[in-house]
Amino acid sequence: MTRLALIAHDEEKPEIIDLVHAYEDLLATIDLVGTGTTGKRIADETDLTIERKESGPVGGDLMIGAEIAENRLDGVIFLRDPLAAQPHEPDISALLRICDVHDTPLATTRSSAEFLLEGLDRRIDPK
């Protein structure tokens, strides 16, 4: 089954919830994993099941990076705040590097996330 990680900086959490609502039917067919707070918001605000790792500040992003290294993820959506990320929020540089090493797509904006989701949808259900 397809497996996707979802992460969002604090200021981007409303945007990732909106994205998840927009693609909820597709995401219901995918194994989801997320960092602690993002995963909790998704679980609380949708009908989706999501495996929650630790929160980003205590290593959740690194746990997701380990899954990438083990080829257990088909993609990552990490909606980040490029202008005002807080020190306690996950850093994208390690995830970007491991995604590049393992040729795993990583989306950092709403637009790129939609392209990633559409690509996964075509792979799951070729039309």
Ligand-binding annotation for 21, yes or no, is no
Ligand-binding annotation for 38, yes or no, is yes
Q: Is residue 34 within 8 Å of 1, Cβ to Cβ?
A: no
Ligand-binding annotation for 55, yes or no, is yes
User: What would the two tokens of residue 40 be?
Assistant: 């909790």
Helix (H) or strand (E) holding 69: helix 60-69
Helix (H) or strand (E) holding 34: strand 31-34
φ/ψ region of 7 (left if φ > 0, alpha if ψ in -120 to 50, else beta) reads beta
Ligand-binding annotation for 88, yes or no, is yes
Ligand-binding annotation for 56, yes or no, is yes
Ligand-binding annotation for 9, yes or no, is yes
Ligand-binding annotation for 102, yes or no, is no
Residue with tokens 């099941």: 49
Ligand-binding annotation for 65, yes or no, is no
Annotate 50-66 with DSSP letters as a single string: EEE---GGGTHHHHHHH
Name the residues annotated as catalytic.
61
CA angle 3, 69, 103 (to 5 degrees): 75
Q: Would you list which residues are annotated within the binding site?
A: 9, 13, 35-38, 55-56, 88
Q: Would you list which residues are annotated within the binding site for substrate?
A: 9, 13, 35-38, 55-56, 88
